[in-house]
Amino acid sequence: MNDFKNIVASDLLLCLKGISSEISLSVEEISDMFEYPPDPSLGDIAFPCFKLSKILRKSPVMIAQEISSELKSEVIAEARAVNGYLNIFASNDYLIKSVLYEIEDKKEKYGSDGSGVGKVAVFDYSSPNVAKPFHIGHLGTTVIGHSLKMLHQFQGYKCIGINYLGDWGTQFGKLIVAYDLWGDEKTVEERGVDELVDLYVKFHAEAEKDETLNEKARHEFTKLEHHDERNTKLWKWFVDISLKEYKKTYAQLGIEFDSYKGESFYTDKMPEQIEKLRELGLLKIDNGASIVDLSEYNMPPCLILKKDGSTLYPTRDIAAAVYRKRTYNFDKCIYVTSAGQSLHFAQWFKVVELMGYDWYNQLVHVPYGTVSINGEKLATRTGNVILLKDLFATAIDKVKDIINEKSPDLENKDEVAEAVGVGSVIFYYLYNNRIKDINFIMEDALSFEGNTGPYAQYTYARTCALLEKAKDIDVTATTPKITAPEESELLKVLSKFGEAVKEALKEYEPSVVTRYIIEVCSSFNKFYHNCPIISESDEVARNTRIRLTAATRTVLGSAFGLICIKKTERI
């Protein structure tokens, strides 16, 4: 409704200036003052007159009444004064011309304001630790990150997706020791990451009995850092095996990355930044470690080097940020990680600022809450994890059972079951505000009723089925006309797509789009049940409703793409 707000704001400003010369508000300021009434029957938008009382020296009730009798606009069907509010209803003519026609004209571009054209956004997300399982704990960073990438791309940004793999650290020393003691090449090749995880878990179990194992692991990692030929070969092998497995999951999610440069890539890029910190006098020695004192900013010190001179996460992150700015010249660099890392990002963002990099304010941390299964937290060291591939497989099997029961003759059952099964998991996760902790319940996620992915995908399939039946009807033979309230209500909901996208981008919050999808589905299904479409005897009404169905399919299809959900033409 943004266009509607702007048009009404312009007409309202003329009306207000006619009432008083003291009005100095702009069209943008008036547009921002509009609210959505809690009940659609009260109006499509509402203007609170309370803020004008002081200027006009009148009560809000009097102001609303005066405006309602003076306001003239072609896009307004009615303006009612109610308790100090001016409740405004959009005209059907406006809804047809500025919503239906615009969707038909712009198609999949409808809802985009082009605000990102000419700008670059870099996204650091997913980033699993190599040789560890891709479990449900990685779902948040992966789908939130990709959704934010799609939202920015939709608005015109050039987007760079980076998978900053955790491919360095003492865990590789542990894995090398475990492989030497209990592993063999054939089993690792056959079982892949599953075998690497089992070796990692066994190492920690045995290290509790034999503390010398940890010392051996540190020794092996030191050899790796010094480019020991055998350890380097093993390390590359572990990375390749892990990536092969991860890419299977990414394929299910429809995600591709522009770069898989992990932590190891930046080992030779950190010395430059460490030296810069020294030259600026920012590095201080504290108990042998090199730190940047951030007490002035109410934060603990940022550790740059350990006592033994080895680097830490902040060192690598700073080097990576500088490399990405030089390589991509980004306008935004967005990091999607758990809320537990918020302090870490605040610290090294501040260090980047203190280093004099004027792009420090282009760094954005997007935190999210934890996820559990039936209240149980995950832990790789103990093996208590729910693998994402297993979660997806379970969801796909359950959807397949539903399809076999309700649509046994459906073509491409496996493909549909995968789209709906995987989609149900993603939708369930992204329906919640990202910062909230989530307890994943499979039965709720797979329901075809309520605010779920299957319900949304089924609604999309319904629009496809209707349009397939209507494919031979020339809907342009008549001029569209609204003849039922459900039609105008559906168009009003569709008109809000651009606002949902804009808000989701502003707040870095995919759930805004996910909840908007449910709003569209609810409105369309009400329209579908109350208004005959193909069977409508009146040609004008029938053609209008078919076009409304096509517009709904267009908007839902675009919205699905913004939250990593696949479109399903049949279920």
End-to-end CA separation in angstroms for the chain: 32
Contacts 24+ apart (CB under 8 A), 322-327: 322/269, 322/272, 322/273, 322/357, 323/266, 323/269, 324/122, 324/162, 325/357, 325/359
DSSP helix/strand/coil, 126: coil
In angstroms, the CA 274 to CA 404 distance is 61
* Residue 161 phi, psi (nearest 5): -95, 120
Residue with tokens 């937290």: 377
Residues facing residue 335 across a β-bridge: 124, 365
CA-closest candidate to residue 423, choices 562, 563, 560, 565: 565
Instruction: Report the pLDDT value the prediction gives residue 375, as an integer from 0 to 100.
Output: 58
Looking at the domain assignment, is residue 194 inside a domain?
Answer: no
Looking at the domain assignment, is residue 75 inside a domain?
Answer: yes
Evaluate whether 495 touches 93 at the Cβ level (below 8 Å): no
Task: Please report which residue ranges of 98-184 form alpha helices under DSSP H.
Answer: 101-106, 139-154, 170-182
**How many other C-beta atoms can be found within 10 angstroms of the C-beta atom of residue 21?**
8
Looking at the domain assignment, is residue 16 inside a domain?
Answer: yes
Instruction: Report the pLDDT value the prediction gives residue 382, as an integer from 0 to 100.
Output: 44
Looking at the domain assignment, is residue 326 inside a domain?
Answer: no
**DSSP labels, 309-348:** S-B-HHHHHHHHHHHHHHHH--SEEEEEEEGGGHHHHHHH
Residue with tokens 């080895």: 310
The CATH number of whichever domain residue 40 belongs to comes to: 3.30.1360.70
DSSP letter at 300 equals: P
In angstroms, the CA 388 to CA 101 distance is 42
**DSSP labels, 17-54:** HHH-TT----HHHHHHH-B--SSGGG-SEEEEGGGGHH
Residues facing residue 80 across a β-bridge: 87
Which residues lie closer than 8 Å to 454 by C-beta, 6 or more apart? Answer: 399, 420, 423, 424, 446, 447, 448, 571
CA-closest candidate to residue 185, choices 255, 239, 234: 234
CA angle 290, 294, 298 (to 5 degrees): 145
Q: Give Rg (Cα) of the chain.
A: 28
The total number of structural domains in the chain stands at 1
Looking at the domain assignment, is residue 264 inside a domain?
Answer: no
In angstroms, the CA 246 to CA 133 distance is 9
* Residue 15 phi, psi (nearest 5): -65, -45
Instruction: Report the pLDDT value the prediction gives residue 69, as an integer from 0 to 100.
Output: 87
DSSP letter at 189 equals: H
Looking at the domain assignment, is residue 231 inside a domain?
Answer: no
Looking at the domain assignment, is residue 70 inside a domain?
Answer: yes
In angstroms, the CA 535 to CA 186 distance is 64
Instruction: Report the pLDDT value the prediction gives residue 384, as an integer from 0 to 100.
Output: 54
Starting at the earlier edge strand, list the strands of the sheet with 302-305: 283-286, 289-292, 302-305
In angstroms, the CA 58 to CA 79 distance is 19
In angstroms, the CA 107 to CA 120 distance is 24
Q: Tell which phi-psi region holds residue 450, choosing left (phi > 0), alpha (psi between -120 and 50) or beta.
A: left
Instruction: Report the pLDDT value the prediction gives residue 327, as an integer from 0 to 100.
Output: 98
Contacts 24+ apart (CB under 8 A), 146-150: 146/253, 146/255, 146/564, 147/430, 147/510, 147/513, 147/562, 147/563, 147/564, 148/123, 148/334, 148/336, 148/366, 148/505, 148/508, 148/510, 149/121, 149/123, 149/125, 150/561, 150/562, 150/563, 150/564
Q: Which two tokens stand for residue 489?
A: 């209500």
Residue with tokens 């209500």: 489
Q: Which two tokens stand for residue 515?
A: 């909840």
DSSP helix/strand/coil, 70: helix
In angstroms, the CA 405 to CA 413 distance is 12
Looking at the domain assignment, is residue 65 inside a domain?
Answer: yes
Per-residue pLDDT of the chain (571 residues; tens, 9 = 90+): 778 999 999 999 988 888 887 788 889 999 999 999 988 888 999 999 988 888 888 899 999 999 998 888 889 999 999 999 999 999 999 999 999 999 999 999 999 999 999 999 999 999 998 888 788 888 999 999 999 999 999 999 999 999 999 998 889 999 999 999 999 999 999 999 989 989 999 999 999 999 999 999 999 998 998 899 999 999 999 999 999 999 999 999 999 999 999 999 998 999 999 999 999 999 999 999 999 999 999 999 999 998 888 788 999 999 999 999 999 999 999 999 999 999 999 999 999 999 999 999 999 999 999 887 765 555 544 445 678 888 899 899 999 998 998 888 888 899 999 999 999 999 999 999 999 988 888 788 888 888 999 999 999 999 999 999 999 999 999 999 999 999 999 999 999 999 999 999 999 999 999 999 999 999 999 999 999 999 999 999 999 999 999 999 999 999 999 999 999 998 8
**DSSP labels, 535-560:** T-SSHHHHHHHHHHHHHHHHHHHHHH
Show the domain range for 38. Answer: 2-90
Identity of the amino acid at 83? N
Which residues lie closer than 8 Å to 383 by C-beta, 6 or more apart? Answer: 197, 198, 201
